[in-house]
């Protein structure tokens, strides 16, 4: 996916407040960075969304979804702090989660030929359901 605007680089500041420390990953909707919130002196995650999501006919709907997601509060969900725009980049800041992503864990097992035992699969499934439940309870 091509980016019509320049992504932040290591050391850049977004919104004059969030200094990019390093890249964490990329997906179809954007890129995630680890950043330092200079106002609070705390590490945060910054997800920069692909600009096409905010120049398409779905711009308003995508903006609404981000603001709505910010209202979901549950210990099983990553907490979204802010939704902002700077230099044509739409981004959100959230609680920083350290460690391997589920995708990385699955890839590591796949590469080694190791299969997941049923109890471990059940644990993953339960955690996913626990994360989605508060969103459904909020009416989404």
Nearest CA among 84, 95, 76, 87 for reference residue 35 = 95
* More confident call, 43 vs 104: 43
Residues 128 and 120: their CA atoms lie apart, in Å, by 13
Residues 116-126 pLDDT 10s: 788 888 988 89
Q: Are 46 and 33 in contact (CB under 8 A)?
A: yes
Residues 38-61 pLDDT 10s: 999 999 999 999 988 888 888 888
Share of residues in the chain with pLDDT > 70 (%): 97
Quick one: three-class SS letters along 41-107? CEEEEEEEECHHHHCCCCHHHHHHHHHHHHCCCCCCCCCEEEEEEECCEEEEEECCCCCCCHHHHHH
Whether pLDDT at 2 is above 80: no
Q: Are 91 and 14 in contact (CB under 8 A)?
A: yes
For 7, which DSSP code?
Answer: P
- Which among 61-65, 85-89, 92-96, 126-130 has the top mean pLDDT? 92-96
């Amino acid at each position: 996916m091509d980016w019509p605007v320049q992504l932040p680089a290591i050391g850049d500041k977004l919104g004059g407040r969030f200094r990019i420390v390093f890249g964490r990953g990329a997906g179809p909707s954007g890129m995630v960075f680890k950043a330092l919130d200079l106002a609070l002196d705390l590490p945060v995650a910054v997800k920069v969304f692909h600009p096409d999501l905010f120049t398409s006919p779905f711009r308003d709907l995508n903006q609404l979804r981000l603001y709505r997601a910010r209202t979901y509060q549950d210990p099983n969900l990553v907490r979204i702090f802010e939704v902002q725009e700077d230099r044509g980049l739409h981004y959100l800041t959230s609680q920083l989660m350290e460690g391997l992503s589920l995708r990385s864990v699955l890839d590591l097992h796949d590469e080694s030929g190791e299969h997941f035992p049923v109890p471990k699969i059940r644990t993953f499934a339960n955690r996913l359901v626990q994360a989605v439940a508060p969103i459904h309870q909020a009416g989404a």
